[in-house]
Amino acid sequence: MSVRIGISPIAWQNDDLPELTAAYTMEQALREARSIGYTGVERGRRMPQDTEGLRAYLETNDIALCGGWCSGNLMKNTVAEEIEAVRQQVEQFVALDAPCLVYAECSNTVQGDIGTPVNNRPRLSPAEIRSYGAKLSELAKWMADQGMVLAYHHHMGSMIESQQDIDALMAGSSDEVTLLYDTGHLQFGGADVLGTLDRWGERVRHVHFKDVRPEITAIIRDRNQSFLDAVIAGAFTVPGDPEGCIDFQSVTDALRKMDYRGWIVVEAEQDPAKAQPYEYSRMGYRHIVDICSRSGLSIEV
């Protein structure tokens, strides 16, 4: 059994808050990530957008494409319209041998609006989520036919955030809709971190290891602040940070028991003035290597 360890470049290059990371470059992100030991990186907006340009960019930095974000609009679009909207990214990810496309519904999310409290996110009934899941299943089946996995990202500020939301989406969709299992968004969203893996482990095809600082997430909730306020305040951090609260050893043990063989991706957006990207990314990598060793998971390098 083996896993691969990747990273999102968001600690060096934050797409939602570019001014936060203005002193850093994407080239620095990839160079430092690879020097730490990460073998994959998720796609960022400041990477080349054309397929051959992105391929050369990744090869120059000796790093693989281990997924990437896709802003979905399936609540507004028909399935046919959404297929055309994502077709180019799907074709690119297939060509570059990415393990999945990280899909999240963004037509009604508040995650990128610093003026809207995260508590004011859109909320759907279980029946409405199941109806959405039926459309999502059609999209995911089309992607599977193209050779690409749709990994749905439950995300703070979006309509799929809580445990109830996740359960309704998984129950209301086909097996082609896989789950991006994100520890930090589960914890911040009040979901059951280990219980979600127990319940939906067979649908998990991609994993984000992200920790949270619980005192900060509590303040964000209590003060009715936004998701971006949470990022700036330091709600998120890497595995291994003593200020975090998630038991990553138990999560990794559970992944070992379910025979998980995919990517474990560190994603922890922080203010680099408070959390230097190289140091924190190295902290996260070393912690994952340690807990994988304890769990009996080998790491492909």
Share of the chain above pLDDT 90, in %: 99
In angstroms, the CA 291 to CA 251 distance is 10
Alpha-helix residue ranges (DSSP H) falling in the chain: 26-36, 51-60, 79-95, 126-146, 163-171, 183-188, 193-200, 214-222, 227-233, 248-257, 277-295
Q: Which domains does the chain show, CATH number per domain?
A: 2-299 (3.20.20.150)
Rounded mean pLDDT, 264-269: 97
Q: Taking 80 as the threshold, does the pLDDT of residue 43 lie above it?
A: yes
Q: How many helices (H) and strands (E) does the chain have?
A: 11, 11
Q: What is the pLDDT of residue 117?
A: 98
pLDDT digits (tens, 9 = 90+) for 167-180: 999 999 999 999 99
Structure confidence at residue 58 as a pLDDT band (50, 70, 90): very high
133's tokens: 């899941």
Rounded mean pLDDT, 16-26: 96
Q: What is the pLDDT of residue 112?
A: 97
DSSP 254: H
Full-model pTM? 0.97
Nearest to 120 by CA among 168, 156, 88, 77: 156
Q: Taking 80 as the threshold, does the pLDDT of residue 1 lie above it?
A: no
Rounded mean pLDDT, 124-132: 97
